[in-house]
Chains A and B, each alone.
Chain A
Amino acid sequence: MKVKVRPDRCIGCKSCEIACAMSHSSGSPLGIAPRIRVKHGQVVRGQREPSKPYVVTCRHCAKPKCVEACISNAIYQDADGRVLYDRDRCVGCWMCIMVCPFGAIHRDLRAKKVAKCDLCDGRETPACVQACKVDALEIDNSRREQ
């Protein structure tokens, strides 16, 4: 299972970011780093307008590099192919950030641990998918070979 992005549909409204932050905090989303992020290409000042929005989020790779790189066995792949992590085991070594080709793992600066998409573990539909008003995010349940 993973969240599949339909880039052609995304309008860059960032509803997914807010929903993600809300879903991963007990109260206010302020200061909680969202694990899904809407990025733009050209943002250098003085240059042309920001380009099309681009959603950066975990792809739950079939053979995840972050799992290979994790020295504390915090990031793991479960039987359903979801790439999850055990926050308590994370030591903040950032090896996973060094190897994720999608730039989809972030530092939670307050906890000094990583934050990544956990598919809203325990929720039927991830918050970002639910929040997306233009159906740019959808659930992909296809299985891939390791």
Chain B
Amino acid sequence: MRSFRYIIIGNSAAGIAAYEGIRQKDRAGSVAMISDETAPIYSRSLISYFLAGQIDEEGMLFRPRSFYGREGIEALLGRKVVKVDPKAHQVMLEDGEVFGYEKLLIGTGSAAVHPDIPGGGLNGCFVFRSYEDAKAIKAYLPKVKEAVVLGGGPVGIKAAEALSSRKIRVTLIVSSGNLLSQILDGTTASVIQKMLEDHNVKVITRCDVGQVLGESSVTGTKLADGRVIPCQMVVFCKGVQANTGLAVEAGISVRKGIVVDDHMRSSIPDIYAAGDVAEVKDILTGQRTIHALWPNAMQQGYVAGMNMAGGDRSYDGGFGMNAINIFGTPIIAMGLLRPEVRGGAEVLTAKGNGWYRSLVVRDDRLIGAFLVGEIDSAGVLNHMITHKIGIHGLEEAALRPDFSPARLAEAGIEIDIGE
């Protein structure tokens, strides 16, 4: 049996960052990265850009092809871990091979939910999560003039935009009352809906697809209200579920995701978790949750890696944020924006030619920001949310597109990142 000092299950943001964290502390310890995906490290967040044809296969790579070899990483790609044995410190692969580890990172991410509806398995039905999904959708495009995208979250919107940019007529079906219902309130979301509609993406809210029509391939969808929409492709963007199966079976504590402490340690010694599979602290709500976000996964992975190699780093938690482009208009949403989560907070809004901005303020602290069109100061607002910097007296300035650290400096607030 071969053994490695470190085994990383997963080959995406958390995994690569963990590797880099490990190497900060341990220059030589052997590392294996195991992934059931065959592609070398690619950027999952880029699949919509790939589908739109904006980038090619080289552009998808998150590290050069030579990365594993150069770094001396044993890359076991296209191979699936089926069992973790914490007592023996071993992982077992689908093909029966067993590897020993001293420290293990579970960075298995999450998988797209494929709704179980009649016709959901016809040719032309896809989920949109992995590079493989994007390639399959792209290969199918010649057969498609009209597509239905299910799900009004960031992934659904990105899929709709990418398909639309390929001259496909897209209908976006949203179960809830508005787009991005996990992030935004209806009023704010209507700004985005209008942008999509202005670019010929049809948006239908408060509706679900009841059935996908067709013999062997998709010819249409039947909505719950009986309406039929002809289409040759259906893309399910109905959320993701953390890949916690391995952890559950190994007896690791799991709720929505793998429960970790601030050092990214799971409930079982020598096993860490990071990224979309890990449940971490939300610094705005105080609750444990999964932040399925690239930057958060990178931070968590790095902390996990450092600690796996004997370091003593903590991850303070994060909060929900996202940046998307809708037909060229940049949009950034950060923090608590929905009425259900923002509580009795005050909402300030401002708009101008080509831009819109709203800020959510509670107890003199910024807890949410939504920016459309003009986004240059988004990171400064992000910093104010993260570090709970008092916003009193700065509200008007922060609502303006030309907000900058100059305004903070004038108020005597220094941007301190601890360096």
Q: Tell me the A residues contacting B by CB distance below 8 Å.
A: 7, 37, 39-44, 51-54, 56, 59, 61-63, 65, 68-69, 71-73, 89, 91-103, 105-107, 112, 144, 146
Contact = CB atoms under 8 A, between A and B. Distances in A.
A73 B43 CA distance: 8
Interface residues of B, number: 48
Contacts of A37: 404
B295 A41 contact: no
- Chain A interface SS verdict (over half): loop
A65 B17 CA distance: 13
Interface in B211-262: none
A99 B59 CA distance: 22
Contact of B417 (A43, A56, A61, A73): A61
A91 B294 CA distance: 15
A112 B55 CA distance: 14
Contacts of A146: 24
Nearest to B54: A91
Contacts of A94: 323, 325, 330, 332, 375, 378
Interface of B: 17, 24, 43, 45-46, 49, 54-55, 59, 61-63, 294-295, 298-299, 302, 321, 323-325, 328, 330, 332, 334, 375-380, 382-383, 396-397, 400, 402-407, 409-411, 415, 417, 419
A97 B410 contact: no
A99 B404 contact: no
B215 to A, nearest CB: 38
Contacts of B419: 59, 61-63, 144
Given A71-B43, A91-B54, A93-B325, A101 B406 contact: no
Nearest to A41: B410
A101 B417 contact: yes
Contact of B406 (A40, A59, A96): A40
A93 to B, nearest CB: 6
B416 to A, nearest CB: 9
Contacts of B45: 71, 93, 95
Contacts of B400: 44
A99 B397 CA distance: 19
13 contacts: A41-B397, A52-B409, A61-B419, A68-B298, A73-B63, A95-B295, A97-B375, A98-B321, A98-B375, A98-B382, A99-B295, A101-B379, A112-B328
Contact of B380 (A53, A61, A95, A102): A102
Chain A to chain B: the 4 pairs with minimum beta-carbon distance, closest first? A41-B410, A54-B406, A101-B383, A100-B379
Contact of B59 (A42, A89, A98, A100): A89
Given A68-B295, A73-B62, A91-B54, A101 B380 contact: yes
